[in-house]
RNA sequence: GUGGCCGUAGCUCAGUUGGUUAGAGCGCCAGGUUGUGGCCCUGGAGGUCGGGGGUUCAAGUCCCCUCGGUCACCCCA
């Protein structure tokens, strides 16, 4: 247990503050995603960050790493056992089950997610995800729509190296046959597996496929493949998904060992990775179909498919590819006041009421200081009001790019700035 | 949870084999004729050297602990 800290409080380990102006990029990212989602008919869904802990135990999986080792759990003052959401899908499905909206119900979200793990490049205890979920249909074209939405988003941001891996995990019908085949294979190669999996793979042999240690990877390279065990409906579904991606020009490749760490996946799984990311965490998004999840959490059966994109990692990928540069937001007008503040106060508000982004200096700074601030603010115009202008009822309008200056009646200022006469 | 590396001004860093009042650049503030920014010049503010303990005549420099950061394993976004 950590000792009681001293000094001013700090943000908890593994969390970050995104200060302005850096946050401008974040803001833009969410806006772009929202637009894309809306174009495809996905509406914003807001759900609580807190959920009953049992939602994730049942949904994400009792034995999954995320639940057993990484979940933030707490008991509230009323004795309720709650958890901070470790991922985005289960809460969406919970809301769907609880409210039973018309299907297909297509929603997008932006949310923090919490996992108690050691932070490193591209990995935090609180990270943020952008995602969509489409519930109530098992149409493979819906898988295609969802995947294309994500793929198009990466392209829109200027990410050119993002690769899409896909796989199918089958369903409750064909999974048992595959599991026994995999188990039989692993039994004959048990001695060659990594330390962690040598003794224990019985509970969920799929985990071994996900193991990145060289020993396990060498063994699983020759293991039976999920796609070879799909029953007819699942095989047809997967074929339709891949054909749809091809038809839309969404490049992808089969990754037979892609199983992902959350237990709820069935049929389609996919993952986007950016090899441009230097760090070990180069997965910038992932998702899949989860036709058994609604039922697993106690609702009536409902299929679903969706994905999550990690905002922090996505931005790291943008840095690595020198993509998605966003200019810091700048005001249109900087109001310079030499009358003691009253004129500046009133004029700034007047401009804002007219829809112009207007800022000013405080603390009665010198003219020189105010103009310096105006320059650094990035504003195109400075509107200067001193005692002389106040008496005459005018303002000096200064073009901060060139430096030219002209005086105009104060009641003409808004019209000048918003009318296009001065704007170019 | 395990391991490597690193903690000196707001930021990026320098601080010789331990030796006076801890420095630079950038940023910030003020001034450079009474009301005009950017460039330049001058000056200024700002640091419990992450924290605690120890060694020593003397610790930013060495040792231990601790907190934090960072990277990796694992897993994932």
A275 belongs to a structural domain? yes
Rounded, the Å distance between the CA of A6 and C1' of B21 is 30
ipTM of the complex: 0.88
Say yes or no: A279 and A366 in one domain. Answer: no
Positions of chain B reached by protein Cβ under 7 A = 1-3, 28-32, 35-38, 48, 51, 66-77
Rounded, the Å distance between the CA of A298 and C1' of B73 is 37
What is the predicted pLDDT for the residue at A424?
Answer: 44
Q: How many CB atoms lie within 10 A of CB A221?
A: 9
Residue with tokens 């709650």: A82
Say yes or no: A277 and A255 in one domain. Answer: yes
| Whole-number Å distance between alpha carbons of A339 and A346 | 12
Pick from A320, A347, A370: which residue ends a domain? Answer: A320
Say yes or no: A260 and A387 in one domain. Answer: no
What is the CATH classification number for the domain harbouring A140? 3.30.930.10
The pairing of strands A266-273 and A163-168 is: antiparallel
What is the predicted pLDDT for the residue at A382?
Answer: 96
Task: Please tell me the total count of domains within chain A.
Answer: 2
Provide the residue range defining the domain that includes A374: 333-418
Rounded, the Å distance between the CA of A343 and C1' of B30 is 25
Q: Which nt sits closest to A363, CA to C1'?
A: B29
Pick from A320, A344, A369: which residue ends a domain? Answer: A320
Mean pLDDT per 10-residue interval, chain A, length 424 residues: 67 92 93 98 97 94 86 95 96 97 97 94 94 97 98 96 94 90 88 78 80 83 92 96 97 92 91 83 92 95 97 92 89 95 94 96 94 94 95 95 90 87 48
A210 touches strand B (CB under 7 A): yes
A107 belongs to a structural domain? yes
What is the predicted pLDDT for the residue at A420?
Answer: 57
The pairing of strands A358-360 and A333-337 is: parallel
Say yes or no: A276 and A144 in one domain. Answer: yes
A3 belongs to a structural domain? no
DSSP A43-109: EE----SEEEHHHHHHHT-TTSHHHHTS--EEE-TT--EEEE-SSSHHHHHHHHHHH--SSSEEEEE
CA dihedral of A76, A123, A254, A288, whole degrees rounded to 10: 20
What is the predicted pLDDT for the residue at A4?
Answer: 60
Residue with tokens 């048992």: A176
Say yes or no: A160 and A234 in one domain. Answer: yes
Say yes or no: A291 and A350 in one domain. Answer: no
Helix (H) or strand (E) holding A287: strand A283-289
């Amino acid at each position: 247990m950590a000792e009681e800290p001293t000094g001013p409080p700090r943000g908890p380990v593994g969390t970050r503050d995104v200060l302005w102006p850096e946050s401008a990029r974040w803001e833009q990212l969410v806006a772009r995603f929202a637009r894309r989602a809306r174009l495809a008919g996905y509406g914003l869904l807001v759900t609580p960050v807190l959920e009953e802990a049992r939602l994730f135990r049942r949904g994400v999986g009792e034995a999954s790493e995320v639940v057993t080792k990484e979940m933030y759990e707490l008991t509230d003052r009323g004795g309720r056992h709650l958890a901070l959401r470790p991922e985005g899908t289960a809460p969406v499905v919970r809301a769907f089950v609880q409210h039973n909206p018309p299907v297909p119900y297509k929603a997008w979200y932006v949310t923090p997610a919490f996992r108690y793990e050691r932070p490193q490049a591209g990995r935090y205890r609180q990270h943020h995800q952008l995602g969509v979920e489409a519930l109530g249909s098992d149409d493979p074209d819906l898988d295609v729509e969802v995947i294309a939405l994500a793929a198009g988003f990466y392209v829109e941001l200027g990410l050119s190296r993002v690769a899409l891996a896909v796989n199918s995990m089958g369903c409750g019908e064909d999974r048992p046959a595959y599991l026994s085949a995999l188990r039989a294979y692993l039994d004959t190669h048990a001695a060659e597996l990594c330390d962690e999996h040598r003794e224990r793979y019985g509970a969920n042999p799929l985990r071994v496929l996900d193991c990145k240690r060289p020993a396990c990877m060498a063994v699983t390279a020759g293991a039976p493949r999920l796609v070879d065990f799909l029953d007819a409906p699942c095989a047809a579904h997967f074929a339709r998904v891949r054909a749809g991606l091809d038809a839309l020009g969404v490049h992808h490749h089969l990754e037979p060992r892609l199983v992902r760490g959350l237990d709820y996946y069935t049929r389609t799984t996919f993952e986007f990775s950016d090899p441009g990311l230097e760090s070990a965490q180069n997965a910038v998004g992932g998702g899949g179909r989860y036709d058994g999840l609604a039922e697993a959490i106690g609702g009536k059966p409902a299929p679903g498919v969706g994905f999550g994109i990690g905002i922090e990692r996505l931005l790291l990928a943008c840095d690595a590819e020198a993509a998605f540069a966003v200019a810091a937001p700048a005001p249109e007008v900087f109001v310079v006041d030499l009358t003691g503040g009253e004129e500046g106060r009133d004029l700034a508000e007047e401009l804002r009421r007219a829809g112009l982004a207007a800022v000013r200096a405080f603390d009665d700074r010198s003219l020189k200081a105010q103009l310096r601030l105006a320059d650094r603010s990035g504003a195109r115009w400075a509107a200067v009001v001193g005692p002389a202008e106040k008496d005459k009822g005018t303002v000096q309008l200064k073009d901060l790019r060139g430096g030219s200056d002209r005086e105009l009646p104060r009641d003409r200022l808004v019209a000048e700035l918003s009318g296009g006469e001065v704007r170019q």
